Chains A and B, each alone.
Chain A
Amino acid sequence: MLEIKNLHARIAEDGTEIIRGLNLTVKAGEIAAIMGPNGSGKSTLSYILSGREDYEVTEGDIFYNGESILELDPAERASKGIFLAFQYPVEIPGVATMQFLKVAMNEQRKARGEAELTTPDFIRRVKEAADKLKIDQAMLRRPLNVGFSGGEKKRAEILQMALLEPQLCVLDETDSGLDIDALKIVADGVNALKSPDRAVVVITHYQRLLDYIVPDSVHVLYKGQIIRSGDKSLALELEENGYADIIGEAA
């Protein structure tokens, strides 16, 4: 489903190279974890996958369902089914959460040539998905993410993911700032979306999240490259020994 080939990318503004020849393949139905120390390029990778303009791809390519997505803007990628759960969801005062959800769902449907949702249908879907994530209706009446706690913001991200039904979910440090109860709710939300035609890329710092979202593959990112791939035991190894050994091997 996702194939990243020899990807090189830099910060557009100052030319700093962050991704330096990254290769990664994620198949449909797979849950892939990307781990790595601070500054290895994890968040940058998530932004590049979703098409943020602040980064420039200088070499290599990203194929999604066999098609290069480099020329697509973030909205086009989203409509094709790529979803990024933000590490830091932004607060947007003045945009009502429900209005935002409705616009996002309907714009994606329009882009795919599907009929727009009726209001009752929309409300029913939101209510069902919100209940599963224990999201209070009062939260949905607020402006988008405004005044949400860290945990509420992350749950709101997963709610959006559940409603938009993407094919490729990229979770950028979704575990950061979550207590154990919130972590379980979020993990359950992600696991509920697991399906043979959907892939999930979990970007995380710690093994903790992977106790709840069990990965099929684990990849270590360091200085903009995948330096080691393995199964879930690799994550446990990292948890025990830290990154130093693997980095030492690669160097």
Chain B
Amino acid sequence: MNMQTTSRLTAAETALVEAFAAQIGEFPGDGAVIGTRDRLLDDLKKAGLPTRRIESWHYTDLKSLLRQVPDAAPVAAVDPVAALVDGSKIFSILQGFADPKASADGVEVTVFKNKLTDGSAAAELTAFGNDDAIGRINGSFVRDGFAISVPANTELEQALELQALHAGGQIHTRFPVSFGAASKATIIERHIAVTDGTALVSSISDIRLDDGAEVTWIIVQQQGAADTHLGQIRVKLGTQAKLRLFVVNAGGKLVRQELRIEVEGQGAELTLRGVNLLGGESHTDVTLMLGHNVPHTNSTEIIRNVVFDRANGVFQGMIRVAPDAQKTDAKMACNTLLLSDDGGFSVKPELEIFADDVICGHGATVADIDSNHLFYLMARGVPENKARAMLVNAFVAEIVEELEDEKLVEALEGIISSWLERHA
């Protein structure tokens, strides 16, 4: 089913192959890493970028959507920006290169480049078959990132901010982060374009929560209007682990955020929230592949989308419940505010349930602004454009406010309202 043959490479595929050839000798890595890179690139070359015939890419035909790949080199210099939440510890990644001096109390940190050089990263450079173009691209090209480990029983007072900034070019980063048993932390992963130079970004975060760890992981994607962002979040949840994963897409021309989550310990809990702000001619795809693999685990997923202009969005939510994963409780919802006749949003919820004693549900809505709400605000003297903006904001604010951390809520609402001011 997931096979395709490619006789000829597209311009983008050719550019990737050439970029790889041009950088051989510069890529960090020992023999094992180099061998893995070669193999992943070879797989990519053979299979090509995925088309709509690959089921998980059906709504995002990467082969036709990714027309060009920019040169690897950046267009301008980049400096760090202020933290999203005051007081966070910033781990800076400029143009794909991690700051070797970055550190935080109570946390073990290595720049990922060192793990490539000494070969300890070789086993992590994997791809999940032909579905996984992101794993292949990132595994072939990755240069740097941060490997972070929060020891058991450690509670981080301040958030860690992974701040990835670029000024165009190619950026391939990786963030293996593990949280020891009963640790607590908040991580903010930001991807920001500081110029309008075109970029191709691939980034994989490999997150492991040991037993009883409680983590809030926020992803804020603010790429430029010409950029391609290929993100992948790999998660493993241990017994009684709790992960709150919050994804905000507020930028990019072609965006795919893959969330590959395995719930592997009893009593584990996943709370996934997503806000997709789509405008211009962009295409944004959030694809969730969630496995409830053991009994007694919970998850809730709520995705809120706002579509302007000629933008297109996709949410695919696949929940697999393994045969012995009894008492799974999973609820998924995807709500879209479609504010343009030329925009679109495709939703594909999928439940694959092999256990017989579970509660699983999903729902999707697509609507315009509620005319009763609009009339109510206007009847109080709020002009139409302002009333509309308030209602769009409210639609997404509702899930942002669940975060409870006031500073974080305020920061995210700031990003959302400034995006809406620019697009509404």
Contacts and interface: CB of A to CB of B under 8 A. Distances in A.
Contact of A160 (B372, B380, B394): B380
- Please name the 6 residue pairs, one residue from A and one from B, whose CB atoms are nearest each other, closest first: A94-B394, A78-B381, A74-B378, A108-B381, A94-B398, A104-B380
Given A75-B387, A92-B394, A93-B394, A107 B379 contact: no
Contacts of A160: 380
A89 B380 contact: no
Contacts, number: 76
B394 A78 contact: no
Interface string B83-121: 000000000000000000000000000000000000000
Given A92-B394, A94-B398, A107-B386, A50 B373 contact: no
A103 B390 contact: yes
Contact of B379 (A84, A95, A111): A84
A51 B371 CA distance: 13
A234 B373 CA distance: 36
Interface string B282-311: 000000000000000000000000000000
Interface centre among A52, A75, A89, A103 (most CB of B within 10 A): A75
Interface centre among A73, A77, A79, A92 (most CB of B within 10 A): A92
Interface in B376-404: 376-384, 386-387, 390-391, 393-398, 401
Given A95-B390, A100-B380, 7 more contacts: A74-B379, A75-B384, A77-B379, A92-B394, A104-B381, A108-B380, A143-B394
24 contacts: A51-B379, A53-B375, A73-B384, A74-B375, A74-B379, A75-B379, A77-B379, A78-B378, A78-B380, A78-B381, A84-B379, A86-B379, A90-B372, A93-B394, A94-B401, A95-B390, A95-B391, A95-B394, A100-B380, A103-B382, A103-B390, A104-B380, A111-B381, A143-B394
B275 to A, nearest CB: 12
Contacts of A53: 371, 375
Nearest to A50: B379
Nearest to B385: A75
Nearest to A85: B379
A75 B391 CA distance: 15
A164 interface: yes
B105 to A, nearest CB: 36
Interface in A57-77: 73-75, 77
